[in-house]
Amino acid sequence: MTGTVAFDFTGKVILITGGSAGIGKGIGQAFVNAGAKVVVTGRRREPLETFCAENEGKADFVQMDVSCGDDRRRTIDTVINRYGRLDVLVNNALVSHIKPFATLTAAEIEEMYSVLLVSSTILIQAALPHLIESGGSVLNISSGFGRFVQFPPGHVSVYSATKGGLNQLTRALASELGSKGVRLNALAPGPTRTEASERYDELPKLLASQTPMGRMGEVEDVADAALFLSSDAARWVTGQVLDVSGGWGLTG
């Protein structure tokens, strides 16, 4: 079962971008298990419908493209119109082009900045009045690559830059918005087993060997940390980037 730590989010409304697969889906399931009403977003309708069918009455979806400016604010408006409140915004939408910097196209570079950094910024701004009203919080899903750039191919320059920017946005807005009662934190997962990682033959073994605890992370590891940072147990925690990595990056 995804989400093994006991937190109670009954009556809370959670919005998760990129919530149809991988870490986003796992976080969504953890919040559902903790009693929340969860709204997930994504580009493809079918996996969103599947998630909601698996959690009938507890989950909802908005089909949207976070790289589209109109979709961002429309999504926040839709959640408020349907449920009247927003307690936690989880920015998890993902795109990555892992290739040599010199071969990245302008469109690929712009897409990564748009999906990974610009969209999070605008969604936070759009959600802010509602988070102030609910005393809510923002959780940005960053990456270990926001601090480290090691990777077998070594081709994560722009991806790393966007995640480093997201980390700094988290800290800056936590400082600015703390007086309004809104907390902002980020999770920085290390190598995590998802549908995407399983497409590579030897990569999971290699990444596990780079981790002091000797294994890949599981989605549940990240989801439990997400519950903590979004809960009242973390009411005095803001502006933090929490590594959820089994110590990945400690050894060089």
SS3 per residue for 20-89: CCHHHHHHHHHHHHCCCEEEEEECCHHHHHHHHHHCCCCEEEEECCCCCHHHHHHHHHHHHHHHCCCCEE
Q: Exposed (0-12), middle (13-18) or buried (19+): which is 184, by Cβ within 10 Å?
A: buried
Residue ranges of domains in the chain, CATH in brackets: 13-234 (3.40.50.720)
Using pLDDT thresholds of 50, 70 and 90, give the confidence band for residue 1. Answer: very low
User: When comparing pLDDT for 192 and 81, which is higher?
Assistant: 81
Average pLDDT of the residues in 104-113: 97
Using pLDDT thresholds of 50, 70 and 90, give the confidence band for residue 196. Answer: low
- CB contact set of 179 (below 8 Å; sequence gap of 6+): none
What number of other Cβ atoms are within 10 A of residue 228's Cβ?
A: 16
SS3 per residue for the chain: CCCCCCCCCCCCEEEECCCCCHHHHHHHHHHHHCCCEEEEEECCHHHHHHHHHHCCCCEEEEECCCCCHHHHHHHHHHHHHHHCCCCEEEECCCCCCCCCHHHCCHHHHHHHHHHHHHHHHHHHHHHHHHHHHHCCEEEEECCHHHCCCCCCCCCCHHHHHHHHHHHHHHHHHHHHHHHHCCEEEEEEECCEECCCHHHCCCHHHHHHHCCCCCCCEEHHHHHHHHHHHHCHHHCCCCCCEEEECCCCCCCC
What is the distance between the alpha carbons of residues 42 and 103, in angstroms, rounded to a whole number? 27
Quote the pLDDT of residue 206. Answer: 74
What number of other Cβ atoms are within 10 A of residue 6's Cβ?
A: 8
- Is it the case that residue 180 has pLDDT exceeding 80? yes
Using pLDDT thresholds of 50, 70 and 90, give the confidence band for residue 214. Answer: confident
Token pair listed for 29: 């399931």
- Say whether 113 is catalytic: no
* Summary mean pLDDT of the chain: 91
**Cα distance between the two ends of the chain:** 33
- Is it the case that residue 235 has pLDDT exceeding 70? yes
User: When comparing pLDDT for 15 and 99, which is higher?
Assistant: 15
Which one-letter amino acid corresponds to residue 50?
T
Using pLDDT thresholds of 50, 70 and 90, give the confidence band for residue 198. Answer: low
Average pLDDT of the residues in 221-235: 97
- Percent residues over pLDDT 70 in the chain: 92
Least confident among 91-100, 209-218, 234-243: 209-218
Quote the pLDDT of residue 153. Answer: 52
Exposure b/e, 211-225, CB count within 10 A at least 16 = b: beeeebbebbbbbbb
Tens-place pLDDT, residues 134-166: 999 999 999 988 887 765 556 888 999 999 999
Tens-place pLDDT, residues 30-80: 999 999 999 999 999 999 999 999 999 999 999 999 999 899 999 999 999
Average pLDDT of the residues in 73-100: 95
User: When comparing pLDDT for 219 and 132, which is higher?
Assistant: 132
Least confident among 22-31, 93-102, 128-137: 93-102
What is the distance between the alpha carbons of residues 196 and 141, in angstroms, rounded to a whole number? 16
Least confident among 39-48, 116-125, 208-217: 208-217
Quote the pLDDT of residue 88. Answer: 99
User: Structure pTM?
Assistant: 0.92
